[in-house]
């Protein structure tokens, strides 16, 4: 079955540590996205990538980093510079060939800072 997988489902981090969230897709989509979700605030875009080896900052990129070395993979690193990282993180992908930008989402990773 085609889809997007995110791991781990739950992640606990101590203050001052970097952590990396995994996102893999087998939909053959060119574009991938990372969103942060906080209660009552909807989804806010962290980073997006339209093609391998290229990515752009979204609205709240400070304290985060990404890489796009393979089409299937778009890992997100939450660095110690992120002041309030506790949130639900969603990865998504879309088929840029259709120009519609319908997004397909993974199941999410819930990050908690202890």
Partner 1 sequence: AQSVTQLDSQVPVFEEAPVELRCNYSSSVSVYLFWYVQYPNQGLQLLLKYLSGSTLVKGINGFEAEFNKSQTSFHLRKPSVHISDTAEYFCAVSETGGFKTIFGAGTRLFVKA
- Binding residues for partner 1, rule: CB under 8 A, are 4, 6, 31, 35, 40-43, 45, 48, 50, 58, 88, 90, 92, 94, 96, 99-108, 110
**Closest of 83, 79, 81, 87 to residue 111, by C-alpha:** 87
Of 57 and 70, the one with the shorter C-beta distance to partner 1 is 57
Q: Give the shortest CB-98-to-partner 1 separation in angstroms.
A: 10
N- to C-terminal Cα separation, the chain = 36
DSSP 69-91: SBTTB--EEE-TT-S---EEEEE
> Are 74 and 64 contacting, i.e. CB atoms less than 8 angstroms apart?
no
Of 16 and 40, the one with the shorter C-beta distance to partner 1 is 40
Q: Give the shortest CB-61-to-partner 1 separation in angstroms.
A: 13
Of 4 and 19, the one with the shorter C-beta distance to partner 1 is 4
């Amino acid at each position: 079955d085609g889809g997007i997988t995110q791991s781990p489902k739950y992640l606990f981090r101590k203050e001052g540590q970097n952590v990396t969230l995994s996102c893999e897709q087998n939909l053959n989509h060119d574009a991938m996205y990372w969103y942060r979700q906080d209660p009552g605030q909807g989804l806010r875009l962290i980073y997006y990538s339209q093609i391998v080896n290229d990515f752009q900052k979204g609205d709240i990129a400070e304290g985060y980093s990404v890489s796009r070395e393979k089409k299937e993979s778009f890992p997100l690193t939450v660095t110690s510079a992120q002041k309030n990282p506790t949130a639900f993180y969603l990865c998504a992908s879309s088929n840029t060939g259709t120009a519609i930008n319908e997004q397909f989402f993974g199941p999410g990773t819930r990050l908690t800072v202890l």
